[in-house]
Chain A
Amino acid sequence: MTDGYETGDARRTGLLLGLLILGMVVAGGVGLTLYARGRWWLPPLASAEGAHIDRLFYSTLIITGIVFVLVHVLLALFVWRFAAHGDRKARHWHDNRRLELTWTIIPAVALTVMVAMAGVVWARTRLAPPATGMVVDVRAEQFAWLSRYPGPDGTFGRVDPTLIHPRTNRMGLDPKDPASADDIVSPELHLVVNEPVRVSLRSTGVIHAFFIPEFRVKQDAVPGVTIQTWFTPTREGRYEIACAELCGIGHYAMKGTVIVQSRDAFNAWLAQQTPALTPAP
C-alpha cells in the first residue's frame, strides 16, 4: 500500500520541518528577540512603578521563553525522529496517568507562582494611590489632551460640558464656582521629578486611553466617570501622551506633551500661568 506520503519522502520532509522549526522558530525567535533589544524594545524607563513592572515583564519573558524553546525543540525532534520509514509501526500507546499529572501539575504550580508575582506587583503599584503628591485633572477630547491644576486654593472648580467653548473656555469651567477662578489649564502636562502624581482622568465624549510608554502607564479615559491613575516620574525631560484607545479619525495623531521638571522649575512655570477664566484684556 503506497499512499504517496510514505517512503523516503517522509524522512526528508520530517528533517526539513524539524530544521525549519529549530532554525526559524527557535533560533529565529530567540535571535530576533535579542536583536530587538537594541532597536525595538520597551522605551527607556522613567517612572518608579515601572521598575516593578519591568522586572515582572523580564521574569515572564524568561519563563515563557524557556517553554517556547522547550516545546519547539521537542516538536522539531519528534517530527524528524518519527517520520514514517521502513516497516516500523507506530506504537499503540495512548495513556499514562503519571505523565498527564506531571504536565498538569507543573504548569499549574508555575502559573500559581506567576499569579502571586503579578499580584504583588499589581497590589504595590495600583491598589492604593500615593498619600502625598499633587493631583492633576487631565481631560481627553477628540483629539487632544488638556491638563488642569487647582491653583492656590488647592481645589478644582466645577466643570460643566454645556459651558465648553472651543476658544474661551475649553475646559468648560463654571465661572459661578469660586474655586474655578484660579484653576490653571494647560495643553501641556507639567510634572515634578521624583514626586508621585495622581492623574484624574476624564473624557468629554468617547473613550480614549492615557498612555505614556516611558512611565509604563496606561489608563482609559471614560466619559461619565473620573478615573485616577498615579505614578512617579524619575527622569526629567519631555515625553508624550499617546492615545491608545481608538477614538475616531484623529486617533493616530492624538498626542499630548508631558514635561517632567525639577520642583523649582515646575513652580516657576506654574507661577507664569494665568488662570483660565481670566477675561481677555
Chain B
Amino acid sequence: MQIQAEVRDARGRTIAPGARVRSGDVEGRVRHVEPEYGVVTIVLEGRAGKGERMVRVSAVEVLEEAPHPAEHEAHADSFIRKYVFSLDHKVIGIQYLFTSLFMALVGGTLAMLIRMQVGWPGTKWGLAAALFPGGFAGGQMKPDFYLAVVTMHGTIMIFFVLTTVLSGGFGNFLIPLQIGARDMAFPWLNMMSYWLLVPAIVVLLTSFFVTGGAAGGGWTAYPPLSAIPHAGPGSGFGQTLWLIALAILIVALLFGSLNYITTILQMRTRGMSMMRLPLTVWGLFITAILMLLSFPVLFAAAIMLLFDRLGGTSFFIPAGVYVGGQVLTHAGGNPLLWQHLFWFLGHPEVYVLILPAMGMVSDIMASEGRKPVFGYTFMVGSIAAIGILSFLVWAHHMYTSGMHPLVAMAFMTTTLAIAVPSAIKTFNWLATLWQARIRFSPQMLFAIGFVSLFVTGGITGIFLAQPPVDVVMHDTYFVVAHFHFVMASAALFGVFAGIYHWFPKMFGRTMNARLGKIHFWLTFVGIYATFFPMHFAGFAGMMRRIYSTQIYAHLQGVGPLNTFISLAAFGLGAAQLLFIYNFLVSLRRGPKAERNPWRATTLEWTAPSPPPHGNFETEPVVYRWAYDYSVPGAAEDFIPQTAPVARAASGVSAPGSGGS
C-alpha cells in the first residue's frame, strides 16, 4: 500500500517533497506531489512571495533534489517555529492540550478550596491560609475569597479547560488526521487562536491579585452585581479583567471554529464523504458550528457589560438602582437582557463540551469493542438534532427570572425534546456494546463510564426542564449535581478516554494501562461519591454559591453530607495525581507505539506515530466508512478506511461503503 510512483522532471531529477523547484516565474519547495492528477504543491520562496501554489508536473524544473524526502519538513523549521509559534495543527492541538491540563490543575485546586469551606464551614486552615494569605483572615476563608474561588472554578473549568481541550486540543489534533488532510485550512489563524488563549489566561489569572480580588459574581456574571463596581469586592477590577479575558478567549475560539468548519467541509481527502466521517469529526463539526453561532453573542454581551462598567452606558442597569448607599445615574437597561444573551451562548456551550466527547466515546467504543458503532445514521442525526435544539432551550435557565409563564412552557417543550436524541444516543451505545468483544483498555473504561455519567446527569435534567419542579430545585445543589454529572464529569471522561486513546498518536508512546485502569476505578467511584450526594443537599434546599450552611434552619442537617462530599472530592482530586504522573512519565519513558496500536480503522492510524509535519506519506484515499470492525470473512477484525472494497466480495455492505 501507499507506494507512489516517482515523479521526475524533464532532466530526470526527482520531484519529491522538499525539493527546490522552479515553475515558470515561481520558485519554492515542494510540499506535496499528486502524480495521479499531475500536480505539485509548492511552498513559495524568494520573490514569488508567500503561500502555496499548485503547478503542473510538466512545467516543473528541479533546481535541487530533496536530500531526504521524508525528513525534509523536520529540518526546515527552527525550534521556535516548530514548537512555539507553530503552524502545524498537531503541535497547536498539543499546545491546547497542555495548556488546558494546566488550567485543569488550577481549576481543580480551586474546587478543593470550595470543598474545604463547604465541608467544614468556619474552620481555620493554617496551611491554606499560608498559601493564600489574601484569601484567609485569621486562618478562616473570607467570604469574598470564597466567591472568587467559586466564580473562577466555574469559569476556568468550562471555558479554559473543557472547551479548550475538546475543541482546541482534540479538534486541532484529530480533524485533519481523521479526514486525511495535511493541515487545517488556515494554519496561521490556527496559530493565532492558540496565542490568543495565552493572554486570555494571563489576564484571567492576574485578576486574583488585583484590588478586590478576582470576579465574584459566578461564572454567569449576572448584572447588576457584575455591572456595578462598588456592589461588592468581587465586582471590582477583577470583574473587568474577567470580561476582557473572556472576550479574548472568544476571539481565539472563533478563529478555531472557523478553521474546523472550513477544514471539514473543504479538505476531506478523496473518498471521505460526509457520511463516512468518524463520529468524532461529526461531534467536532457540529460543535464548531455551535461555537461560531453562539460565542459572538456572548462576545457582544461582554463588551456591552464592559461599557456599562467603564463607559457609563446602561444596557443592563435599570433606573433607580440603589447600591452601597447611593442611587446610580444609569437608566433604561434591563438585567434580564444579559441572562438571555448569556444563556443563548451558555446552553449551546454545554453541548460544545459534550458533543466532541460523545463522538470520541463512540469511536473508542467501536475500536475497543471491535464492533461497528450501532446506528451511525441515527448517531449523526441525533448530534445534528441536539445541535439545532440547543439553540432553542436557553431560557430553561430562567424559569424563576420573572419571564412570562407561557414562555417557560415553550422552553420546557424544547428542553424535553432534546432528551429524545440523547436517549437515541444512549441506547445506540448500549447496542454497540451488545455482542461486542470488549477489551478494557483505560480508554474503553472511561468511555463506558461516560455513558453512565451521561445517563445519571441526563435524567436529572428532566426534573429541571419542568418549570414547576425547577422552581424548587433552581440554584440549589441539585443543579450543581446535575451539571457536574452530565456536562463536567461526562466531558472529562471523554477527555480522559481521548487522551489514553490518542496519546500514542500524539507522542509516539503508550501510557501505562495498569495505572490508567487504577485511575479509572478511583475516578469513577470518586465522581459518584462526590456528586451523587449533592442531589440530596439540593432536595434539602441548599443554595448554590453559599459560603456557609450554618445560617439557615432548613440547612442544619446537611453538615455531615457536605463533609462526606468534601472527603470524596479530596480523594477524587488526589486520584488525578496518578494521571498526571502516568502522563508525564509516559511522555518520556512510555513504550514506543506502533502506527496502529489499537488496530483501529480511521485514517489517523495509517500515519506514523507521531505523524510528521504534513501527516501522511501519501494522500490517503478512503473507500469505506469508519466502522468496518469484525467484518465476516475478513482476515483481520478491522479493515482500515483506506482498504479498497473488493468488487467481487459478497455480503459486506455498510452505509457509505459505496453501495455494493
> What is the interface of chain A, defined by CB distance below 8 A to chain B?
1, 3-6, 9-10, 13-14, 17, 20-21, 24-25, 28-29, 32-33, 36, 39-43, 52-53, 56-57, 60-61, 63-64, 67-68, 71-72, 74-75, 78-79, 82-84, 88-96, 99-100, 103-104, 107-108, 111-112, 114-115, 117-119, 121-123, 125-127, 141-142, 160-162, 164, 166, 172, 204-207, 209, 211, 213-214, 216-220, 222-225, 227, 240, 242-253, 255
B311 at the interface (CB under 8 A from A): no
Ranked 7 nearest A-B pairs via Cβ: A224-B318, A213-B541, A118-B466, A5-B439, A94-B372, A205-B323, A40-B536
**8 Å CB contacts to A: which residues of B222-268?**
222, 224-225, 228, 231-235
Q: List 21 A-B contacts (CB under 8 A).
A: A3-B598, A17-B440, A42-B472, A57-B463, A60-B469, A64-B460, A84-B370, A90-B437, A91-B371, A100-B378, A104-B420, A108-B420, A114-B466, A126-B468, A142-B323, A223-B318, A224-B321, A224-B334, A224-B335, A225-B318, A244-B476
B524 at the interface (CB under 8 A from A): yes
**Cα distance A223–B417 in the bound complex, in angstroms:** 33
- Are B437 and A92 closer than 8 Å at their CB atoms? no
Interface flags for B538-568 (1: CB within 8 Å of A; 0: not) read: 0111011111100111100110010000000
**Cα distance A112–B465 in the bound complex, in angstroms:** 12
- Are A72 and B455 closer than 8 Å at their CB atoms? yes
In the bound complex, residues from chain A placing their C-beta under 8 Å from that of B525 are: 20, 24
In the bound complex, residues from chain A placing their C-beta under 8 Å from that of B536 are: 32-33, 36, 39-41
- Interface with A: B180-188, B404-412, B490-498, which one? B404-412
Interface flags for B639-660 (1: CB within 8 Å of A; 0: not) read: 0000000000000001100000
**Cα distance A121–B431 in the bound complex, in angstroms:** 36
In the bound complex, residues from chain A placing their C-beta under 8 Å from that of B513 are: 4-5
- Are A115 and B412 closer than 8 Å at their CB atoms? yes
Name the residue of chain B whose CB is nearest to the CB of A216: B472
**A143–chain B nearest beta-carbon distance, Å:** 10
- Are B371 and A249 closer than 8 Å at their CB atoms? no
- Are A249 and B233 closer than 8 Å at their CB atoms? yes
- Are A122 and B228 closer than 8 Å at their CB atoms? no
Contacts known (A103-B427, A220-B402); A252 close to B143, Cβ less than 8 A: yes
B91 at the interface (CB under 8 A from A): no
Name the residue of chain A whose CB is nearest to the CB of B540: A40
In the bound complex, residues from chain A placing their C-beta under 8 Å from that of B579 are: none
- Are B554 and A43 closer than 8 Å at their CB atoms? yes
Count of chain B residues near A, Cβ 8 A:
124
Name the residue of chain B whose CB is nearest to the CB of A160: B320
Report which of B377, B416, B428 forms a contact with A111, defined as CB distance below 8 A. Answer: B416
**Cα distance A118–B464 in the bound complex, in angstroms:** 11
**Cα distance A253–B550 in the bound complex, in angstroms:** 9
**Cα distance A207–B400 in the bound complex, in angstroms:** 11
- Are B462 and A83 closer than 8 Å at their CB atoms? no
Report which of B372, B409, B420 forms a contact with A119, defined as CB distance below 8 A. Answer: B409
B313 at the interface (CB under 8 A from A): no
**Cα distance A242–B556 in the bound complex, in angstroms:** 14
- Interface with A: B15-23, B43-51, B625-633, which one? B625-633
**Cα distance A103–B379 in the bound complex, in angstroms:** 13
In the bound complex, residues from chain A placing their C-beta under 8 Å from that of B436 are: 78, 82, 90-91
- Are B452 and A83 closer than 8 Å at their CB atoms? no
In the bound complex, residues from chain A placing their C-beta under 8 Å from that of B336 are: 222
**A222–chain B nearest beta-carbon distance, Å:** 5
Interface flags for B391-414 (1: CB within 8 Å of A; 0: not) read: 000000000111001101100110
B571 at the interface (CB under 8 A from A): no
- Are A57 and B472 closer than 8 Å at their CB atoms? yes
**Cα distance A197–B52 in the bound complex, in angstroms:** 74
- Are B323 and A204 closer than 8 Å at their CB atoms? yes
- Are B540 and A219 closer than 8 Å at their CB atoms? no
**Cα distance A88–B374 in the bound complex, in angstroms:** 19
B59 at the interface (CB under 8 A from A): no
In the bound complex, residues from chain A placing their C-beta under 8 Å from that of B434 are: 78, 82, 93
**B588–chain A nearest beta-carbon distance, Å:** 20
**A253–chain B nearest beta-carbon distance, Å:** 5
- Are B551 and A92 closer than 8 Å at their CB atoms? no
**Cα distance A49–B321 in the bound complex, in angstroms:** 33
- Are B440 and A100 closer than 8 Å at their CB atoms? no
Contacts known (A111-B420, A205-B322, A248-B232); A39 close to B557, Cβ less than 8 A: yes
Interface flags for B454-475 (1: CB within 8 Å of A; 0: not) read: 0110011011011111011011
B216 at the interface (CB under 8 A from A): yes
**Cα distance A245–B335 in the bound complex, in angstroms:** 13
B590 at the interface (CB under 8 A from A): no
- Are B402 and A127 closer than 8 Å at their CB atoms? no
B445 at the interface (CB under 8 A from A): yes
- Are A218 and B471 closer than 8 Å at their CB atoms? yes
**Cα distance A227–B629 in the bound complex, in angstroms:** 59
Name the residue of chain A whose CB is nearest to the CB of B336: A222
Name the residue of chain B whose CB is nearest to the CB of A67: B459
**Cα distance A25–B402 in the bound complex, in angstroms:** 37
In the bound complex, residues from chain B placing their C-beta under 8 Å from that of A123 are: 405, 409
- Are A6 and B232 closer than 8 Å at their CB atoms? no
**A141–chain B nearest beta-carbon distance, Å:** 8
- Are B541 and A242 closer than 8 Å at their CB atoms? yes
- Are A74 and B445 closer than 8 Å at their CB atoms? no
**A270–chain B nearest beta-carbon distance, Å:** 25
In the bound complex, residues from chain A placing their C-beta under 8 Å from that of B552 are: 240, 242, 255
Contacts known (A60-B463, A204-B323); A244 close to B543, Cβ less than 8 A: yes
In the bound complex, residues from chain B placing their C-beta under 8 Å from that of A3 are: 439, 597-599
Name the residue of chain B whose CB is nearest to the CB of A93: B435
Name the residue of chain A whose CB is nearest to the CB of B382: A104
Report which of B322, B524, B548, B655 forms a contact with A95, defined as CB distance below 8 A. Answer: B655
- Are B540 and A242 closer than 8 Å at their CB atoms? no
Contacts known (A14-B438, A115-B413); A92 close to B631, Cβ less than 8 A: yes
Contacts known (A13-B440, A252-B547); A56 close to B553, Cβ less than 8 A: no
In the bound complex, residues from chain A placing their C-beta under 8 Å from that of B137 are: none
Name the residue of chain A whose CB is nearest to the CB of B637: A89
- Are A118 and B412 closer than 8 Å at their CB atoms? yes
- Are B462 and A114 closer than 8 Å at their CB atoms? yes
Q: Given known contacts A90-B436, A119-B409, what 16 new A-B pairs fall within 8 Å (CB)?
A: A14-B438, A28-B528, A39-B557, A39-B561, A40-B537, A53-B468, A56-B468, A72-B455, A75-B451, A75-B452, A90-B630, A121-B468, A160-B320, A224-B318, A244-B474, A248-B216
**8 Å CB contacts to A: which residues of B174-231?**
216-218, 222, 224-225, 228, 231
